[in-house]
Chains A and B, each alone.
Chain A
Amino acid sequence: MKKVKFRHSTSRFLLLSVVFLLSFSALSFSQEKQVSPDAGQPAIEVTDAPGSALGDPANGKSLFNSLCAACHKPYSKSIGPALNGITDRQSLEWITSWIHNSSAMIASGDAAAVAIFEEFNKMPMPAFPQLSEAEIGDILAYVETPKPEPQAAAGPVAQTGGATAGGGISSNIILGILAFVLLMLLVILFLVNRTLRKFAVASGVELPEKEKRTPIWKSFVQNQFLVLVTAILLLLGSAYFIYGFFMQVGVDQGYQPIQPIHYSHLIHAGDNQVDCKYCHSSARTSKQAGIPSLNVCMNCHKSIGEVAEATATEEYSKEFYDKEIAKLYDAVGWDPATLTYTGVTKPVKWIRIHNLPDFAYFNHSQHVTVAGVACQTCHGPIQEMEIVSQNAPLTMGWCINCHRQTNVNIAGNEYYQKIHEELSKKYGVEDLTAAQLGGLECAKCHY
């Protein structure tokens, strides 16, 4: 089982040594790179003529993102055609009337309009009569911004000893220097001592002889009391560690395997706030939360073929993420060029992170739908995880603790009415825990 989260202590030591060496060779460290312009979106900041003949590209960008981006991309085909170069292909009047009412144009038999309609699977474009000509001009100005050249430096930042960046460096260097100075002092002391001895021998000074004493280990062995106490301590200590070792067997807290597709919960559940149960829909009705089938991914990724520039982080570049989306397309058999399914599918073999033993029955719908427990209660801050790891120990003690502490959500649930009435009378409490309702009985989970 791979545990990536915990680095080995030797590697940490090596890292420190590298830091130590680096501190001498390259004290000036390059700071964070400039945010490189997005390859998928026009970089309006760098255009020479912001207010070109068409309009204001900045306003155009916000309009485009709110109205058009669902179906159009500036430089590549999506549900609708790529818009870059549209002004070369069509007249401004044509574009304006298309935007205001495309279906009327198709109905009127405009050759170009019909051709576009046919090309894109007869998918009608909604009419936007509310857009003024100036606003249309702004949008066109934005989409006609030339495609920026991808910058050579945009490659993924190495994932090696990335911890060197930032303010931490100074303290490390200071510590390193101190250590070096101390070492030097030791060496000097040793050398001085040796030289002095040589002097003493040479000048005939007699050094006092040390009295012979029983070595400390011998006297230790002779003291039976000490031996006994040490033995007991040793035994207790080893028992403690052995117990600890056995108790963690099969507990895979922190298990963080590398998945076949780098799916980031941080981007989906965190940044984009996609509801957990949108993808893990069976958590509502089934014992399994379910790994979403790939057709669920394609609900969005049909039109999201690449990530926005802002999505890229230091660790994972845009190219990296785009490649992962390409992996999805490959698996589901989607041809992004023609926007069609090829029919060749390659099911993804995800690695299961949360594994309960077969003899334990756990039902998601019981917890999610009935009890209203948030996913994060057991799975941790999933919306912050770039790579998911097992947050909870998933041991029986952990389950039981929660059942003891959690009050059952009975509000508005007719099923609980009778039993709640009876039980709260019996125990003399208003709120009942899962345990009081029988949530600790063995065969509720083991059968």
Chain B
Amino acid sequence: MSSNKKYWKSVEELDENSSIVERLQQKEFVEEIPTDEFLGDKESLSNSATTRRDFLKYVGFTTAAASLAACEGPVIKSIPYVVQPERIVPGVANFYATTIADGFDFASVLVKTREGRPIKIENNILSTSKAGVNARVHASVLSLYDGKRLKRPMANGQNVSWEEFHNQVGNALNNVQGEIVLLTQTFASPSTTRLIDEFSAKFGNVRHVVYDTVSEDAALNAFEAKFGTRALANYDFSKAETIVSIGADFLGDWNGGGFDAGYAKSRIPENGKMSRHIQFEANMSLTGANADKRIPVTPSQQKAVVAALYGYIAGGASTSNLPGNIDDAVIKAVNQLRKSGSKAVVVTGLPDTDAQLLVIAINQALGSQVMDTDNPRMIRQGSAQAVSKLVQDIENGSVGALLIAGVNPAYSLPNSKEFIEALKGVDVSIAFSMKEDETAKLCKFIAATPHYLESWGDVQFTKNNFSLMQPTIRPLFDTRQFQDCLLKWNGNSISYYDYIKETWNGSLGLGSWNDALHDGIFEGTIPGVAAVLTSETATAVNNSTSAQNLSQAGETKGYELVLYTKVSMGDGQQANNPWLQEMPDPITRSSWDNYVTISKADAEALGLINENVANGALNGSYVNLKMDGVVVENVPVIIQPGQAKGSLGLALGYGKKEGIKEEMQVGVNAFPLYKDFKSVQNVSVEKASGMHEFACVQLQNTLMGRGDIIKETTLEVFNTKEVEEWNKVPVVSLNHMETPVTSPEVDLWQSFDREVGHHFNLSIDLNACTGCGACIIACHSENNVPVVGKVEIRKSRDMHWLRIDRYYSSEDTFTNDINKKDDISGLGESLSQFGELEQPGDNPQVVFQPVMCQHCNHAPCETVCPVAATSHGRQGQNQMVYNRCVGTRYCANNCPYKVRRFNWFKYSGNDEFDYHMNDDLGRMVLNPDVTVRSRGVMEKCSMCMQKTQKTILDAKRDGRVIEDGEFHTACSAACDKGAMVFGDINDQETKIVKMKEDKRMYHLLESVGTKPNVMYQTKIRNISEA
């Protein structure tokens, strides 16, 4: 059943005695306006030199002067090109295919450029490699215009020319004593590999160490042991019927990410079937939030779960030493896996080679078609062992020259203190960096490198899938690529571009080179490299030993800390990107912070609290985390429903201090706890003093009793019951008769004719939406949405046009709860069962719901605007006219969906908001087709009017009919999961018409009768056990 479930947004709401919840429900503005602050101080008021009359005079004069000055228009200059480049037409966008490969994110993208400026990242729909365009990739265009970027090379702290730089470095390299070490990110670039080989040949005594900031070492080791290649197995979840994940956040950044598009395909019920997803995990991750069944278990128990799974499926065991309830879950999972056979898959994110080996063995035993080991992923190459050894060697003094490219070890190494000390002893240290970051600051030479949108490159995603990187703008600063520098020092005079072409000369001819560059991707094999044997190598891998090792993983002391990466921040490379900082975490809904997540029981035991202050903002206690002498102090705490007892979570990538704006220096650096590059650590926790102020969205207000905002049901009900039972159209009273709200008689309004021309609708599938947030950033960059900063977010003044709401619900339905209560007999039973009822926060179910302006056909906002600044178009779009708006905010008050955003300030060119819109460089990212809103006006989603209008105009110019799939909004184009479908419902051929007629379709708060043009597809959970 759908509608009788109780949804809640924060733990606070579950507390019946909380006064704040009550107050928030009753009163929108709980806090008194602090007029006393400026009126209460009688003394200073009377002592003021400015009398009231003087004040009015000043106001009068300045207003008059300002209005007089405004009468004269400015002289605007227009400067055309002297020689216009052939392909640039002012006002028309060009698209180029390129590739991001920053060592953490790898994806083939389309870049939209205007007048030679990249302004937006889009999905490359031609891309076949499953490396997704996530929120960070969408935001990476803003990192191009980062004011903190290095503008020229430096030697010994002085700005130098490249010529001088090459001279000095060349000399130093030729006279180096000891080993030359290249410490780099994973380039996954065949040309770079070839180049480094040549570099080694030229200088001799060269070692190349690949360092992944966030390591996949265990999985790489396991794959290497099994198949002889250092790579990662690839997974195509679209083929999966059963997915069992043990601690793998595969919808996040697990194994390089990008699995979510395939996963979403398997989640949409088709012919009564959808995949079943079982997740064993400690942190409440994005993946766990999407799972049909989630079992919170600590990492040490997860190891035992892997061992037990292996035992049941491949090892022939019939029992395990797991606690009863977990063992029960494992057995159910095993049955499910067996039932699906080759359509089943098991994955794990445990930083343990044994666990990874077992998982491969389980998948092989199942004959899983989901796992692909023939065409493995090459986008993680780092070796924890090699990095650790390198740090030792530097300390020993055997390293003469250290070239660091694309990584920031002084910030991200767990033993960064030792590294920093040791680095001082290295004769020649060169950092190839875009920023003067922690590492670059310590190096003698800093080579300023370009952003990927200014670079050439080739990338090997998987063994057979390649992609090319091409510049989309001339370098903004005096920068050179790492590879160009190596070429120079190798004594090779050609450019890296020619070098790449040379690499692919044999396998890509001129025509196919141009095609590959145009498409951005191509398939093939690395030329000159003998096909590596992918069949199982003879290496004896003893699975039963691994299983034994795992199941004997002893009891742990203290808390088990699980380090993870957020979808917004990743490994922290783009920490100076305000879009990402302000993007709320999909689970905790907090922005501008990282924090320790802890279960409610543990928090109570430690005396840690979360509380909502009077304006609804969240405060939390601090803790200190200790591990073998490493102390991370003052980490704020968020009590996370669903967190496994005895475990903690903490995000990496925060707490940077160098090469980053002051506003963006938020959070704590968790890398010191990342010992041996393992994401699971044992720590002890102690409470610290003080309270942290979080900047959470959505948590400030309550649901106000409107629980029917989400509709969900189970696959079983969906398949067997009538649609009225699980997706009922709300009824209202008409002459004391229950009448469906969709019938015209109940309508107060005269409807306009919407049959003519285009009529746009947007469908959002709650089953396919994983909550990844790519649409949020795509919307930001398409619509020039400002960044408001932590303080303003705390005041609920966030400007996101599109938000993804997250709702928790307890596993059982309300009716089940009531039944359970009624059935209780006897005191003993009542004690235990009431206890269960009282703890809905232990393991909640989660729903993600993207919400933007619903473009109601009967919009409540339109009728209350005193100046008609918001009106309705025939195409279904609710139109907001900024130049007409006077800022009464009546519309926002009358909007049932809270999607209208008020510009409290002028966010562009304002020193108080020192984000990208405050400097010329950052403003280059603005979309010239969308107005930059000013202070005092309302704004909201326009359903990407500029995009629909452009599509229509293009068709008009060509004199043709518009095909299905041409219309897009920024969010629907960004959603590679297909959760968002946009189109014209007056064209009967389109997909959106089918979505509208789907029985899962419902409208948000339909009972209000707003008739929105945005629709949702009911969430279906596959909860039936096999």
Contacts and interface: CB of A to CB of B under 8 A. Distances in A.
Interface of A: 1, 249-250, 252, 257, 282, 285-288, 290-296, 331-333, 345, 347-352, 355, 357-361, 363, 365-366, 369-370, 412-419, 422-423, 426, 437-438, 441-444, 446-447
Given A252-B73, A357-B883, A443-B881, A291 B957 contact: no
Contacts of B14: none
B882 A1 contact: no
Interface in B874-898: 874-875, 877, 879-884
Contacts of B882: 359, 446
Contact of A442 (B75, B881, B946): B881
A447 B930 contact: yes
B704 to A, nearest CB: 30
A163 B282 CA distance: 91
A103 B514 CA distance: 39
A304 B591 CA distance: 63
A157 to B, nearest CB: 29
28 contacts: A1-B75, A282-B90, A285-B89, A290-B89, A293-B84, A294-B81, A331-B82, A345-B83, A347-B79, A350-B80, A352-B77, A363-B953, A365-B957, A413-B956, A414-B960, A415-B955, A415-B956, A416-B956, A418-B961, A419-B756, A423-B756, A438-B873, A441-B874, A442-B879, A442-B884, A446-B881, A446-B883, A447-B930
A249 B952 CA distance: 34
B953 A359 contact: no
Contacts of B756: 419, 422-423, 426
> Which of B92, B884, B932 has the most C-beta atoms of chain A within 10 angstroms of its own C-beta?
B92
A350 B875 CA distance: 39
Name B's interface SS: loop
Contact of A355 (B76, B84, B873, B877): B76
Contacts of B91: 282, 286-288, 290
B757 interface: yes
Nearest to A251: B73
A282 B958 CA distance: 16
Contact of B755 (A292, A422, A438): A422
Nearest to B879: A443
Interface string B925-968: 00001111000000000100110010011011111111000000
B841 to A, nearest CB: 43
A438 B75 contact: no
Given A413-B956, A415-B959, A349 B77 contact: yes
A106 B76 CA distance: 54
Interface residues of B, number: 51
Nearest to A411: B959
A363 B950 CA distance: 10
Contacts of B539: none
Contacts of B875: 438
Given A293-B83, A294-B80, A443-B880, A351 B959 contact: no
Contact of A443 (B76, B877, B960): B877
Given A347-B82, A443-B880, 13 more contacts: A287-B91, A287-B929, A295-B82, A347-B79, A347-B80, A350-B80, A361-B929, A415-B961, A418-B961, A441-B874, A441-B879, A447-B879, A447-B949
B578 to A, nearest CB: 23
B71 A443 contact: no
A196 B92 CA distance: 87
B187 to A, nearest CB: 38
Interface string B748-761: 00000101110000
Contact of A291 (B80, B871, B958): B80
B942 A1 contact: no
B78 interface: yes
B70 interface: yes
> Which of A249, A358, A359, A416 has the most C-beta atoms of chain B within 10 angstroms of its own C-beta?
A359
Nearest to A370: B956
Interface in B589-633: none
B738 interface: no
Contact of B89 (A282, A349, A351, A426): A282
Nearest to B934: A359
B884 A415 contact: no
A291 B753 CA distance: 42
B593 to A, nearest CB: 34
- The 4 A-B pairs at the shortest CB distance, nearest first, are namely A443-B879, A286-B91, A293-B84, A293-B81
B41 interface: no
B72 interface: yes
Contacts of A358: 931-932
B73 A369 contact: no
A416 B957 CA distance: 11
A348 B150 CA distance: 32
Nearest to B757: A419
Given A290-B90, A295-B83, A345-B82, A352 B76 contact: yes
A418 B759 CA distance: 14
A350 B79 CA distance: 6
B75 A351 contact: yes
Given A286-B90, A351-B77, A422-B756, A415 B82 contact: no
A446 B874 contact: no
A438 B90 CA distance: 27
Contacts of A332: 82
Contacts of A249: 70-71
B772 to A, nearest CB: 27
Nearest to B872: A441
> Which of A296, A366, A414, A442 has the most C-beta atoms of chain B within 10 angstroms of its own C-beta?
A442
B874 A447 contact: no
Contacts of A294: 80-83
A418 B984 CA distance: 14
Contacts of A363: 953
A268 to B, nearest CB: 16
A359 B960 contact: no
B298 to A, nearest CB: 51
Contacts of A293: 80-84
A33 to B, nearest CB: 37
A355 B956 contact: no
B755 A290 contact: no
Nearest to B869: A442
Contacts of A370: 953, 956-957
A69 to B, nearest CB: 26
A447 B84 contact: no
B969 to A, nearest CB: 13
Contacts of A250: 73
A419 B438 CA distance: 61
Contacts of B879: 441-443, 446-447
A358 B930 CA distance: 9
B868 to A, nearest CB: 8
B859 to A, nearest CB: 13
Contacts of A352: 76-78
B80 A447 contact: no
> Which of A360, A415, A426 has the most C-beta atoms of chain B within 10 angstroms of its own C-beta?
A415
A423 B874 CA distance: 12
A250 B67 CA distance: 12
A257 B960 CA distance: 42
A415 B962 contact: yes
A74 to B, nearest CB: 31
B942 A443 contact: yes
Contact of A438 (B72, B757, B883): B757
